[in-house]
Amino acid sequence: MEGPVVDISKLLMLDGRVALITGAGSGIGKAAAILFAQAGAKVGLVGRDAKELEDSQQEVGGDTLAITADVSCPVDMERAVSQLVERFQRLDVVVANAGINGVWAPLESLEPAEWNETIGVNLTGTFLTMKYAVPHLRQTHGNIIVNASINGTRVFSNCGATAYACSKAAQVSLTKMAALELARDGIRVNVICPGSIETPIHGKTVQRELENVSAAVEYPEGTVPLTHGKVGAAEDVAQLMLFLASDAAKHITGTEMWIDGGESLLMG
Ligand code: NAD
């Protein structure tokens, strides 16, 4: 039986498409912006740090628009999406990537404001990114990629990272709810769950009194089986994002994909 002829060289290309990537000023978001631009997309780089975005825009090259916005702020995100669509006249791919590790601390010392900050950026920010993008994705039968984590989805041994893990678990639920709701419009929604990836995020984590809540048992050495302990690179994650954004993934929706060199299978 003969199927349709597929041009493999074009399968991962995003020519003529417009992508919005949040948190594009650093780490995984920046790597995705670079790769998507190389694949032919026009890219909207969204983030809350204007200087970081400007530097990233230089590195990405191609046809881009940098938009300073806080993903946890509805007014900002509504404006960010309209600015992008006004500039490029369409929206095909959304990468809800911006996120923070926030404060890692025992439950009784974690302040409600610290909890709200992490949930606000990681979960509400993902919701707002989707909410304002959906009307435009309906026009293009576009797709959404959410960046969650192994934490809260397969790994529960990072004691103190409770707000982070809960925000990441909820991103998976949000993806699945949205995938079914939006399937009738031909919009795909998927979520990726990276393990340890080398980016600046780790230096921004606030850790407090964790000695009081260490896991009952700890692995003595190495946590990434596939690479003998070496953590992943932002570019590894960007490649998975490109695959999900492209026509090569046209029948994939509502799915979480772990990208961690087997780390979460070992750590749990
Ligand atoms: P990073 O700190 O390098 O980049 C995060 C970006 O998000 C930064 O540009 C930052 O300015 C931006 N940002 C933060 N809060 C924002 C807000 N309120 N509004 C707009 N922009 C905001 O981190 P990264 O490692 O590239 O992380 C990207 C995503 O990947 C996060 O959602 C993170 O949880 C997830 N992740 C990272 C790892 C890892 O090991 N690096 C593992 C699993 C999941």
**Burial class of residue 78, CB neighbours in 10 A (0-12, 13-18, 19+):** middle
Distance CA 73, CA 257 (A): 28
Q: Whose CA is nearest to atom 2 of ligand 1?
A: 201
Catalytic residue from among 164, 169, 175, 223: 164
Shortest-distance Cα residue to atom 1 of ligand 1: 201
On the CB side of 166, CA atoms within 13 Å amount to: 16
Alpha helices in the chain (DSSP H): 27-38, 50-60, 74-88, 112-119, 125-140, 162-183, 234-245, 263-267
Mean pLDDT of the chain: 96
Show Cβ contacts of residue 71 under 8 Å, excluding neighbours closer than 6 positions. Answer: 22, 23, 46, 48, 77, 96, 98, 121, 125, 126, 128, 129
Q: What is the C-alpha to C-alpha distance for residues 21 and 45, in angstroms, rounded to an integer? A: 5
Cα gap 140→84, rounded to integer Å: 15
Residue 7 Cα to ligand 1 middle (Å): 34
Give the residue whose CA is nearest to atom 33 of ligand 1. 99
Residue 8 CA, ligand 1 centroid: distance in Å? 32
Q: Are strands 103-104 and 206-207 parallel, antiparallel or unpaired?
A: parallel
Residue nearest to atom 32 of ligand 1 (CA): 99
Name the strand (E) or helix (H) holding 143: strand 143-147
- 144 forms beta bridges with 94, 189
CA of 54 to the centre of ligand 1 (A): 17
Query: 45 and 64 in contact (C-beta within 8 Å)?
Result: yes
Average pLDDT over residues 43-66: 97
* Residues framing ligand 1 (Cβ under 6 A): 22-23, 25-29, 47-49, 52, 70-72, 97-100, 121, 125, 147, 149, 194, 196-197, 199-201, 204
1-25 pLDDT tens trace: 567 788 988 999 999 999 999 999 9
Structure confidence at residue 220 as a pLDDT band (50, 70, 90): low
- Best of 26, 35, 72, 119 for a ligand 1 pocket test (most atoms within 8 Å of beta carbon): 26
What pLDDT, on the 0 to 100 scale, is given for residue 157?
Answer: 92
* Distance between first and last Cα of the chain: 43
Percent of the chain having pLDDT more than 70?
97
For the stretch 87-131, pLDDT in tens is 999 999 999 999 999 999 999 999 999 999 999 999 999 999 999
Is the pLDDT score of 206 beyond 90?
Answer: yes
Active site residue 132: no
- For 163, how many CA atoms within 13 A lie in the half-sphere containing its CB? 28
* DSSP at 228: T
Question: What per-residue string of b and e applies to 138-177 under the rule 16 or more CB within 10 Å gives b?
Answer: eeeebbbbbbbbbbbbbbbebbbbbbbbbbbbbbbebbbe
Q: Which atom of ligand 1 approaches the CA of 53 most closely?
A: 9
Q: Which residues pair with 47 in a beta bridge?
A: 68
Return the closest-CA partner of residue 164 out of 111, 208, 112, 118: 118
How many A from CA of 148 to the centre of ligand 1? Answer: 10
CB 12 within 8 A of CB 39: yes
pLDDT in tens, 153-203: 999 999 999 999 999 999 999 999 999 999 999 999 999 999 999 999 999
Atom of ligand 1 nearest to the CA of 197: 40
